[in-house]
Structure 1
Amino acid sequence: MKDVLSKFFSNNRTEEKPQMKISVYTSLDQNMEYIKNQLFHASDLKWRSISFNQSKGLIVFLESLSDLQKIQQEIIKPLEGKSQGNVDEVVTSVGITKHSDLSEVPQALIQGNCVLLFEGSTEVFIIDVAAVNIRNISEPANEGIIRGAHDGFIEHLMTNLYLVRKRVENPNLVVRYYQSGKATKTKLALLYMQNLANPDLIKEVDQRINSISLDMTLSPGFIAEMMEDNPSSIFPQILLTERPDRTAAHLMEGRVVILADGDPSALILPVTFFAFYQSPDDYHSRWIAGSFVRLIRLVSFIIASLIPALYIAIIGFHPEILPENLIFSVKSSIDRVPFPPIVEALIMQITLEVLREAGVRLPSRVGQTIGIVGGLVIGESVVRAGLISYPMVIVVALTAISSFVAPSNEISIATRLLGFPLMILAALFGLIGITFGMLFILIHLCKLECCGTAYFAPVMPLRMKDMKDTFVRFPIWSLNQRPHDPHPQKYVQERNSRGWKQDDPGKE
């Protein structure tokens, strides 16, 4: 009975057996037959005969993935120009390797390489001739800034590595390659500063990447879910960015970065809650202006998550909090509405989310029209119909605007989701419910960790020196220490000072 149940719940799954090594055959026909069978006689599998060292050879490639001009210029032309010699010396391609395992050939062809086989030889040459079709480097649409660099990552891993290395021209910048996804074989790159990143952090991240077991890894979002300490939390624990300058800044603080081929996002870890509300504009502006804007962002988090719940609690339980003149204005508006405030808020919030999602999915020109016209028409119509009160429309509009202020889309989504349980608590228990809800959120933030780093640092544990770049940004010349949350090898930075001024506060 136990065997029957285990067979039933196994869902008829079978473990994929590791591929056995197969030695290269001395016969070209046998080798080609094996390659054709492994690729299921794909129509884009092509080959060309060639003669070299008085032996018959074959150049095998997938025309959909290989650069035909590279094959002609770097392989065929050099081999036809010389009748004898060493293949790896005659072929002008930089990426040429010699293998004796035939089972590696299908995967090499899928990666865009071509394969060079010779009659009577038990070795095969794998040559890098992959076609590169990439889009131009442009500014990220989700992380626009006013001042500073306007380039962003694209879907090509090597281009993204170039963008980072151009900003961090330092031999201590280390790049390690990984492969993730048994079926997709997605190429990953781990970046860190050898002289800054904590060795324990590097070891931990390396272990987590190697422990990922997936059939496909299509985006860094897959990797983030597999690596987060608490994936069930509403708060993102790994920062995603498409900006090379932001990535370089975090590398210089001792953090690690993960890039994936085929996606324009970089994963940065470990990070804290406050890192999601920091923007490159904070450092490109004067420190007073940058501090003011950052405070606005943090206040917007409180507004977006708390204002609807406060409105529900005040109208339903504590109307005496409002000034006397305001009470009559609000009461005259809500008396015409047949629903309690919680139903009003849920209707408007859900409608707003539907409009937001429609604006994202529709073409850009139509999407903007839907967002503006839809919001105005629906908002005015529901008020005139007596379904929603005017104060509720104002509250929901203020909430929506505040949720857009966050520089990171992940934290913006988390903020919007936080509003729903707080509204329910406000409808049930009033201000007491909101208080307990906020305490629960605060406790949760204090308990969260990211690769051994406290998520709510430097507030908990409290570290006053790191406050210089948390709620506000102090002048650059006063930021002489790196943040302590990634536990870098070197806390003290190069002494920041204005050397031309003798009484400069940054000088000793």
Structure 2
Amino acid sequence: MSFFKNKSSQNSQVNESEQLTNDINKNIQMIHKHLCQTEDFKTKHMTFNNKKCAILFLDSMVNKENLQSNVIGPIIEMKSREIESVVKATELNFSSEISEVGTRLLEGFCTILLENDAIAKSVFVGEIAMRSIEEPANERSITSSHDGFVENLSTNILLLRKRIKSPQLKVKYFTFGKISNTRVSMVFLEKLANKKNIEEIERRITSMEVDQLLSSGEVEQYIEDNPYSMFPQMLTTERPDRATSYLMEGKIVLIVDGDPRILIVPITFFAFYQSPDDYNTRWQISTFFRFIRFLSFIISISLPAIYIAIVSFHSEQLPIGILYSIKVSLEYVPFPPLLEAFAMQIILELLKEASIRLPTPIAQTIGIVGGLVIGTAVVQANLVSNTMIVVIGLTAIASFVAPISGMGTSARLLGFPVMIAASCFGFFG
């Protein structure tokens, strides 16, 4: 196995450093071979300045109208000028390496080869297909803007530059993935961002060695401080207004081509419970709702554990009326409170996952069935007490209050060890 691995790696190194020659036919063959003889590789042979000319492109990656109007048409009409001044190009690149030419073709360029010329000219004629700009479905806002990031890197940077028309807004590009060749951009304000933070993030990004990079979540896992922490360590958002506000605070934005979710670093805990609406309302109102969100975080972690501790160890802390109601609901339940809470929390997660994966009409039905039918059935069957249903329901609502869904999920998961501690040690746990 090692013999074949070493041999293949040596061949790949030779291919990557292979150079173009003055033989146009040999160049076409080498480029086609570099692309593994793919069948969407197209070649158009022409004559320019009494020389053989070949235009290479991938049929699936180019816009035919741009190719005809910007490259093929001008070459046919003008035969006595330099090729650089004939083609209509917003981006023109020169290269003599086979691997670089192949990379350009995969990015939507067409390559022009001339007889007795070992330099390839690549012109961008790519097809830029993307969905329209619309508000993110999972980050709704009442008083803020209603646009969101999309899967195109250039469009996402445009959305930031529309809001920050400053020469200090700096963009740095990186390319990762030996197979995917994914572009990642780091955006920050030159005089506001901390230089040490910029250098550290750039160091961590450039140290990444991956075969493929498809999403911002992968970048987060590679460069975060504590990989074993349940809490998110970078703010993920699809809202340009949120990203802009953090750029103005000196934060750094990481954008991955092909992913509408961007990363904001460095970040604090309180940022996960801030909403764009907070900046568009009176300070008294925004302060009140922020307090509600922080309270929801505490409730989502500790409410089931508090209930378990009271029922198991500290029932004397409750008034007689409430204690009597709880005892009556627990009289015919055969399971301990910890098992009740675990079962209901797991059922809640199952319903949430099912509603996410299923189509919207069916997901709504699942929510109704899960919330009403199953909840009523388990209570009538004396499998779970009424009070536990109320506690788990309040816990679920509190966890969904978080503006960033990842924080709500982390809070619910952290509730499991807290419930175990409460069942063993009461309030001390």
TM range (shorter): over 0.9
Distance 2:317 2:57 in 1: 76
Task: Choose the corresponding residue for 1:377, options 373, 388, 391.
Answer: 373
Task: Choose the corresponding residue for 1:73, options 69, 81, 95.
Answer: 69
* CA displacement at 1:102 relative to structure 2: 2.4
Q: How does 1:93-492 map to 2 (within 5 A)?
A: 93-433=89-429
Q: Deviation above 3 Å: which 4+ runs of structure 1? A: 12-20
Distance 1:50 1:165 in 2: 42
Q: Deviations over 1:256-305 (max 9, x none)?
A: 00001100011000000011001101111111111111110000000011
* CA displacement at 1:63 relative to structure 2: 0.9
The structure where helix makes up a greater share of residues is 2
Considering only aligned residues, what root-mean-square deviation do their CA atoms show, in Å? 1.4
* CA displacement at 1:373 relative to structure 2: 2.4
Aligned residues, how many? 424
**TM-score, normalised with respect to structure 1:** 0.82
Q: Secondary structure at the match of 1:257?
A: strand
Q: Which residue of 1 aligns with 2:28?
A: 32
Q: Is the 8 A contact 2:34 2:98 kept in 1?
A: no
* CA displacement at 1:21 relative to structure 2: 2.0
Q: Which residue of 1 aligns with 2:39?
A: 43
* CA displacement at 1:13 relative to structure 2: 6.8
Distance 1:242 1:59 in 2: 39
**Counterpart of 2:101 in structure 1: which amino acid?**
V
Structure 1 residues 227 and 335: CA distance shift in structure 2, 3 A: same
Q: Is the 8 A contact 2:16 2:98 kept in 1?
A: no
**Counterpart of 1:311 in structure 2: which amino acid?**
Y
Distance 2:363 2:20 in 1: 56
* CA displacement at 1:16 relative to structure 2: 4.7
* CA displacement at 1:168 relative to structure 2: 0.5
Q: Deviations over 1:196-223 (max 9, x none)?
A: 1111111111111100111111100000
Q: Secondary structure at the match of 2:420?
A: helix
**More deviation, 101-110/174-183:** 101-110
Distance 1:149 1:16 in 2: 51
Q: Which runs of 5+ in 2 are unaligned?
A: none
**TM-score, normalised with respect to structure 2:** 0.97
Q: Deviations over 1:136-190 (max 9, x none)?
A: 0000011101111000000001110000000000000000110111110110110
**Counterpart of 2:37 in structure 1: which amino acid?**
H
Q: Is the 8 A contact 2:21 2:118 kept in 1?
A: yes
Q: Which runs of 5+ in 1 are unaligned?
A: 1-6, 434-508
* CA displacement at 1:241 relative to structure 2: 0.5
